[in-house]
Copies of this chain bind each other. A is one copy, B any other.
Amino acid sequence: MGLIVSRIFKRRSKKAGLPPGSLVYVGDKKAYETEVGIIDYDVDNFVEKTVKTIEECLPFKDKPTVTWINVKGLETGFVDEIGRCFELHPLLLEDILNTDQRPKLDEFEKYLFFVVRILQYDEKEDEVRAEQISFVLGRNYVISFQETDGDIFDPLRERIRNGKGLIRKMGADYLAYAIIDAVVDGYFIVLEKMGDRIEDIEDELVLNPTTETLQLIHFLKRQMIVLRKSVWPIREVINRLDKVGSGLIEKTTTIYLRDVYDHTIQVIDAIETYRDLLSGMLDIYLSSISNRMNEIMKVLTIIGTIFIPLTFIAGVYGMNFRYMPELGLAWSYPAILLLMLMMGISMVFYFRGKKWL
């Protein structure tokens, strides 16, 4: 985990000293070969195709239909070219390539620029993986940029293809909403996995807590921090969308944005709850260690307290003084044994009284 955090900031230092707007891909994944998918639709029409060059995108730029240009794989040259074609601000292009942005909304005169983070639970690595997706919402187009070939938008594409739901009847703003909605929906799946993990620990905590349990608790706490940092800013993003005056967001879409806002709040609520749960678990873990110590000490104390005095008595009669009258008496050995037995028994009762046994 330490790895994850420091990795994020290591990328950055490559860029220190470069002029702002310099396009350098800052990411830890080998950039995939760029692949551009175009979906163009309105209520009646639907075109879908994969292109290789930006020239093929240009015809869609000014069409009144809604166009979704999805760029997979972040190649510096390609992003630069798209930027020029669609007149995108250099800082915006820089942000697309710096894949460690905080989720945000930047307003430009003719378009809005969104950065959000897709979260996915990587079963193999057993950790939450975050990927940046940035997109530009123009009058009638959305251009989205992904690092890898994520599949969370497949159901959305399917809905556009089939004309299921409202999407074909609405504009590019609704498409932007639908993208955010798909991202936030993904958070619920990650939260479920986290919930499962927490449940597992809970059982472990009661049955057999180990140092690994502790490390797991802290690991999950840190994952919660990562989650929180991805989700919290989205709340602000949507909040600010209400106040955007560019006319890019229609009134009818606002209600849908409010809905995704509610979902975001739910996710944040859940993260808070999980954090509280994990803190509680930490307390239980620490107190169960203390309890164990108590038990260990109790055993030693009971054994010690019973046998140390008895051993002393045996020691006394093991002394070699010539004049020890008791030693010569026939009944003194059984008497001493009886005394020892009684001492031991009374100790046991004493511990019973203290509830140690």
Binding site for B on A (CB under 8 A): 1-3, 5-6, 8-10, 12-13, 15-22, 89, 91, 94-95, 100-102, 104, 106, 108, 155-156, 159, 164-167, 178, 181-182, 185-186, 188-189, 191-192, 195-196, 198-199, 202, 206, 208, 211, 214-215, 218, 221-222, 225, 229, 255-256, 258-259, 262, 265-266, 269-270, 273-274, 276-277, 280, 282-294, 296-301, 303-305, 307-312, 314-324, 326-330, 332-333, 336-337, 340, 355-356
Chain B residues lying within 8 Å of A269, measured Cβ to Cβ, are 102, 229
Contact across chains for A218 and B280 when beta carbons are under 8 A apart: yes
CA distance A274 to B284 in the complex (A): 19
Bound: A221/B332 CA distance, A: 62
Of the candidates B166, B329, B337, which one forms a contact with A19 in the assembled complex, judged by CB atoms under 8 Å apart?
Answer: B166
A199 and B308 alpha carbons, distance in the complex (Å): 43
Q: Contacts A5-B277, A221-B280, A303-B309 known; A291 to B290 CB distance under 8 Å?
A: no
With A91-B256, A309-B303 in contact, is A192–B9 under 8 Å at CB? yes
A141-B312 Cα distance, complex, nearest whole Å: 87
Q: Quick one: given A214-B287, A283-B218, are A312 and B307 in contact (CB under 8 Å)?
A: yes
| A185 proximity list for chain B (CB < 8 A) | 12, 15-17
Q: Decide if the interface of chain A is mainly helix, strand, loop or mixed.
A: helix
How many copies of the chain does the oligomer comprise? Answer: 5
Question: With A277-B2, A318-B319 in contact, is A13–B266 under 8 Å at CB?
Answer: no
A211: chain B residues at CB < 8 Å are 287-288, 291
B5 and A273 contacting across the interface, CB-CB below 8 Å: yes
Q: Taking the nearest CB of chain B, how far is it from the CB of A189, in angstroms?
A: 5
- Top 10 closest A-B pairs, CB basis? A6-B195, A19-B165, A314-B315, A17-B155, A317-B319, A2-B199, A300-B301, A12-B188, A16-B185, A321-B333
Q: Within the complex, what minimum Cβ distance (angstroms) separates A279 from chain B? A: 9
Minimum C-beta distance from A27 to chain B (A): 15
Q: Tell me, rounded to whole Å, the shortest Cβ–Cβ distance linking A104 to chain B.
A: 6
A352 to B20, CA, bound (A): 57
A94's nearest neighbour on chain B, judged by CB, is: B259
Q: Are A5 and B274 in contact (CB under 8 A)?
A: yes
Instruction: Say how far A40's CB is from chain B's closest CB, in angstroms.
Output: 19
The residue on B at minimum CB distance from A156 is: B17
The CA-CA distance from A315 to B309 in the complex, in Å, is 12
A301 to B315, CA, bound (A): 20
User: Contacting A285 at CB < 8 Å: which of B287, B294, B337?
Assistant: B287
> What separation, in Å, do the CA atoms of A118 and B253 have in the docked complex?
31
